[in-house]
Structure 1
């Protein structure tokens, strides 16, 4: 199979038939840091972050969804670029503050905030807590009263808009655990308005993740504007509308498309109704900033034929990248080195060593004939890759490397067996 049949993605391109991240050969990174290895392009991360900042209307707040990739070095990079943070736990709040995100640019979402997490958010004086149930608002009100501290709150609403995505990452329908119904939201806002230590500031929705069409986002933004205007007519004037995140990336596309173009389309779709109504725009992108900026580098350990199939057993597994197993998600897989002439091509199931049939990174993938020690790159692994990794089967979490032109930074050490005892 000729080298010309393989095309790189974004900042991951072939140079002289060897796959590079920016100007660094991936084979050199494997030799220096071992595999499995997460590799990120600094330029790609900043390109997508700046696309949001450039397209957002004046006064908008772009809050990076920390859950997508919480590596402290990447968070620091985004904080320095001027983004805010969307956090969903006390741990993510800690990481955001440690990375240097300004408290007034941090929004805390999530359905199960614990009292000590609410306390931490109030200690930090973050922009707002987004409420997702009546009981949660009661808990926040109790803590605010005890501290005699005014707490800015938003309410997350389910607009009940259908989106075509995996059911596990669809979040905005009425049967989901997230947010509240519009009727409940109105009730919560009236409660907060009458409470001496609560200050309603915003309304939010997040309809799901990995959504490819713009129309559902526009519909959600228009829905939020309508509800905010209804509240204004009863004397509750909100400052901002948070349209959430969820813009999808093209995991399975053979043709590379700049994410910045989709970001521009998305921003146009959500900003117009919010701007026209006179509200400040808040958003929570995550995947669309970091997914294509990362790849998982893995080495072939063995190959075998069985049951009419060809298997490439690699040293990465579902504990390193869970998305293929959990969501049946497709990640493109390419060979790192095309300089060696190979006989023909095969379709491989690329699988890991974990004791689960569901442990695979890709099935029926056309690759050149593989041998032990060959390197493969799994693309679009920058979001929900390391963030969802685990020590299942006693496996160690991989190292992470950030590439900046011709310079590399080890931004997370590979675990050792001693880490399994902690």
Structure 2
């Protein structure tokens, strides 16, 4: 059974002090999980985790991760700015983007971040923006093997239908051109699967990239400096799902490393990962209060959060477990749709979900929102995004992002001062 990372008493205390809804993060759990990941790959001296900022873009969390020796994986101008302001420097920042604006590449170059090219045509863009004579000393390319990607238990995803990365021939052409334009430290990156809880995904991906590294050395004389396995290791959103075994995954990647790279003289190659969801996902929850109970053709529990706070159920049909705070031991003998206030019928955190009897005023803890929760929020319907709170290691709680206000919502409008004074609306 899934349990919140804070006790019912603590959750009630937080709701009373800060109000609902709120995204709550557990610093201790996040740190513990990152350290476990780092230990699983400690056999590789150059190993580094580059936390995917898109998963949870909050400076307080990034600074904690930086203290734990993680880097950042960025894909936009604002993520680069946030990383820089949080103290991540140069090779601590990986920049992977597609259809990238010049402004983003310019800042990545200025920060001396490691640029991971999505397409061979980006070489010309980066060269132009870097002065036209040479490329940065360290760069990477993103590989897409095409077709389908399978492991022992069947098809996992369809890279051939994905917009990301270069073909095998394109990536070799890119490395040859990069070498001629001054690159001396080369990396390779691939992201083929999202949210896999299979222990087989990373080892198979690693073997694929290791074999390509050997091929590149043989054909081009280029020795890669690092292989970035990217993200893809997921979390068990459903209570019946098994979590992946990160220690077993690390050991299996090592076995592939030893069997493929060592005989080819590539034993100094570093391993990178970008596991935002794995690190943070289980250590965030959306705390929301039941406002209304509706009984028509179904039972509805209407809460003060909505899809603007957590988009995944509406967008993907994704499952997020729900705990009725204080009723953990009660039988789940009622069937509810748990709904938000958007004018969209898919604004549902749960559909036909067995839950204990719910009363108006009950607190609900929606699990596993630590990644791709707040970060995917939006303002459709004029909804305002809500606060983020951090449960710190000493048990205290800190607000790390305030609630949006109507003033924030109207701030980007240039409309002759129409929204300057909102006092009559209580804003």
- Would the TM-score normalized by the shorter structure come out above 0.5? yes
Decide whether aligned partners of structure 1 residues 97 and 275 sit closer, same or farther in structure 2, where only a CA change above 3 A counts. farther
Deviation at 1:411, TM superposition (A): 0.5
**Contact 2:149–2:157, Cα closer than 8 Å, also in 1:** no
Gaps of 5+ in 2: 262-266, 412-427
**Contact 2:286–2:365, Cα closer than 8 Å, also in 1:** yes
Gaps of 5+ in 1: 1-6, 165-169
RMSD (CA atoms): 2.2
Is residue 76 of structure 2 the alignment partner of residue 89 of structure 1? yes
Is residue 261 of structure 2 the alignment partner of residue 268 of structure 1? no
Aligned to 1:224: 209
Aligned-partner Cα distance in 1 for 2:292–2:197: 37
**Contact 2:127–2:135, Cα closer than 8 Å, also in 1:** no
**Contact 1:399–1:414, Cα closer than 8 Å, also in 2:** yes
Which one of the candidate residues 327, 330, 334 is aligned to 2:319?
A: 330
Is residue 348 of structure 2 the alignment partner of residue 360 of structure 1? yes
Any idea what the Cα deviations from partners look like across 1:95-145, whole Å, max 9, x if unmatched? 11112223212111111222121111111112x211111211111122223
Any idea what the Cα deviations from partners look like across 1:351-396, whole Å, max 9, x if unmatched? 1011111100011222222222111110001110000011111111
Question: What secondary structure does 2:216 align onto?
Answer: helix
Aligned to 2:264: none
Aligned to 1:409: 398
Question: What secondary structure does 2:195 align onto?
Answer: coil
Decide whether aligned partners of structure 1 residues 403 and 75 sit closer, same or farther in structure 2, where only a CA change above 3 A counts. same
Aligned to 1:110: 97
Is residue 374 of structure 2 the alignment partner of residue 386 of structure 1? yes
Which one of the candidate residues 35, 44, 63 is aligned to 2:20?
A: 35
Please, which moves more after superposition, 151-160 or 348-357?
151-160
Deviation at 1:344, TM superposition (A): 8.6
1:172-321 alignment runs, 5 A limit: 173-196=159-182, 198-233=183-218, 234-254=220-240, 262-274=245-257, 276=259, 277=261, 278=267, 279-307=269-297, 309-321=298-310
Aligned-partner Cα distance in 2 for 1:379–1:125: 37
Deviation at 1:163, TM superposition (A): 5.7
Decide whether aligned partners of structure 1 residues 143 and 172 sit closer, same or farther in structure 2, where only a CA change above 3 A counts. farther
Any idea what the Cα deviations from partners look like across 1:131-168, whole Å, max 9, x if unmatched? 1112111111222234766342111001334269xxxx
Number of aligned positions between the proteins: 395
Which one of the candidate residues 48, 56, 73 is aligned to 1:69?
A: 56
Aligned-partner Cα distance in 2 for 1:343–1:109: 47
